[in-house]
Amino acid sequence: MLNICTSGVLAATSIQTSSVFWSVTNLIVLGLLSIGNAALWVTYVNWTHSFPQRCSTLQKLRIVHDFFVVLVPVVLVFWLGIAGPGLLFGGSWENLNPWMWGLVGFCSIGLAKLLVQTIRYQLRQSPSTMVVTESRVEEISNRTNSSLVSSGKYQRLARLPGNEQLRVEFNEKTFHLGGLPEELEELTILHISDWHFLGTITKEFFVEVCEIISNDSVDLVCFTGDLIDSQPLTDWIPDTLGKLTGRLGNYFILGNHDWYQEPASIRKAITDLNWVDVSSRTVMLDVDGSRLEIGGDETPWMGEEPKFSTAADFKLLLAHTPDRFSSAKQQRVNLVLSGHNHGGQVQLPIIGPLYSPSRHDTKYASGLFDEPPSMMHVSRGLAGRHPLRIRCLPEVTRITLHGERHSS
Ligand SMILES: [Fe+2]
């Protein structure tokens, strides 16, 4: 009799333990599905932000993202976990109806996409055609006694503990390019991008950065768009961009954030300082007898794709968004300089960047991409409308061109 009672209690305990185990497992699965859902909505934001939409439209699209990122986990817990099949209370997946399976399938696609993205991030390697010869990080606030964050918009974000917005990485990179004319050997390019003058990060930050980079001599200075986020701050241009000089000139294009402001007056403020606006066109330079052609592409927001000449010995394209890479390859552009994606601004451990306003999602968030016949350098930029940087430092890069590297 005692034996029967003991085995009955043991069986009941075992059933209870098994039920708790499956409830916890299902809770974890619902959590993973919620992450998958969020990943798909992030992709939606990245994709929609790659098109020419006004700020107000983009804001509405982001509200849709916020709504579904929050709503779907609640639906998963209440619809699948508590009500319906009651997955959190010992229910079975066999009891899901077709609509529920549809939601699970949607979230699973997002989870699979995140997994692929993570694997790609983990396996990423800089092309052998690039050598980082120097990389130093400078805390710009150490150079001045005044605060570099004002009381402007997003100031709380800028002051968030762990935010690395004021730590700038100064890079020296050497690119080995096949077909580089001898006359362009050791040509140096200062690549700067995405300064986003909004006012929250003060003018002094940009002045200090310019003081650092103006000490190095370069052949070309190239700015790849997104300078102004607040029209009155075009006043800052003479004390910042105006302090930089390339031996063969300074070249620029504008970006989508300049398009939100008054691009014509921004262009005028920069060209008044003898910078060359290469938007929708190309200019040909004679460098010791070699023809270096520089073009600018502000599409899809402004202008049109520049048409390169077949007579050029080397083609350099400034394109605000890396999405223009495929079209640059069709024109056999040798080197594309780009920005726009800011490296994602926040790079998660293991997973990497999430938000990157591109049709290619995070593929071209930042770095060098060697896809013959073209190479593309995507700068993480120096700032952003939202002044937040985590594991993704603001960047200024000085590039030196070399001919193809031969293995010894
Ligand atoms: Fe930008």
State in Å: Cα 341 to ligand 1 middle.
7
What is the CA(257)–ligand 1 centre distance, in A? Answer: 7
Q: From the CA of 18, how far away is ligand 1's center (Å)?
A: 52
Q: What six digits make up the tokens of 61?
A: 């699209």
Q: How far is the CA of 301 from the centre of ligand 1 (A)?
A: 13
The amino acid at 279: S
**What is the Cα–Cα distance from 3 to 14, expressed in whole angstroms?**
16
Using the mean position of ligand 1's atoms as its centre, give its distance from the Cα of residue 57 in Å: 17
- Separation CA 334–CA 338 (nearest Å): 13
Contact predicate 375/402, CB 8 Å? no
Cβ pair 168, 392 in contact under 8 A? no
95 CA distance to ligand 1 centroid (A)?
Answer: 48
Q: What is the distance in A from the centroid of ligand 1 to the CA of 258?
A: 9
Tell me how many degrees the CA angle 395-399-404 measures, rounded to the nearest 5. 140
Centre of ligand 1 from the C-alpha of residue 384, in Å: 6
Tell me the CA–centroid distance for residue 98 and ligand 1, in Å.
Answer: 42
Q: What is the dihedral of CA 345, 348, 349, 352, to 10 degrees?
A: -70
Q: What is the CA(254)–ligand 1 centre distance, in A? A: 10
Instruction: Give the chain's domains with CATH numbers.
Output: 2-122 (no CATH), 128-403 (3.60.21.10)
Å from CA of 379 to ligand 1 middle: 10
Q: Distance from the CA of 2 to the center of ligand 1, in angstroms?
A: 75
Query: Is beta strand 367-371 parallel, antiparallel or unpaired with respect to 352-353?
Result: unpaired
Residue in this structure with the two tokens 């007056």, named with its chain if needed = 265
Distance (angstroms) between ligand 1 centre and the Cα of 291 equals 31
The Å distance, Cα 65 to ligand 1 centre, comes to 20
Tokens of 89: 């209370």
Backbone angles phi, psi at 206, to 5 degrees: -70, -35
Rounded-to-integer distance, Cα 239 and Cα 282, Å: 27
Q: Which of 399, 407, 403 is nearest to 179 (CA)?
A: 403
**For each of the chain's 408 residues, which pLDDT tens digit applies?**
445 545 555 455 555 666 788 889 999 999 999 999 999 999 999 999 999 999 899 999 999 999 999 999 999 999 999 998 999 998 999 999 999 999 999 999 999 999 999 999 999 988 888 888 889 999 999 999 989 999 888 999 999 999 999 999 999 999 999 889 999 999 999 999 999 999 999 999 999 999 999 988 999 999 999 999 999 999 999 999 999 999 999 999 999 999 999 999 999 999 999 999 999 999 999 999 999 999 999 999 999 999 999 999 999 999 999 999 999 999 999 999 999 999 999 999 999 999 999 999 999 999 999 999 999 999 999 999 999 999 999 999 999 999 987 654
Å from CA of 146 to ligand 1 middle: 26
State the distance from the centre of ligand 1 to the C-alpha of 17, rounded, in angstroms: 53
Report DSSP letters for 8-74, one per residue. Answer: HHHHHHHHHHHHHHHHHHHHHHHHHHHHHHHHHHHHHHHHHTTS---HHHHHHHHHHHHHHHHHHHH
**CA 220 / ligand 1 centre spacing (Å):** 21
Starting at the edge strand found earlier in the chain, the sheet holding 367-371 runs 282-287, 290-297, 314-319, 335-338, 374-378, 367-371
Separation of 68 CA from ligand 1 center, angstroms?
A: 26
Distance 196 CA to ligand 1 centre (A): 7
Buried b (16+ CB within 10 A) or exposed e, 185-218: eebbbbbbbbbbbbbbbbbbbbbbbbeebeeeeb
Residue 208: in which H helix or E strand, if any?
Answer: helix 203-213
Confidence (pTM)? 0.92
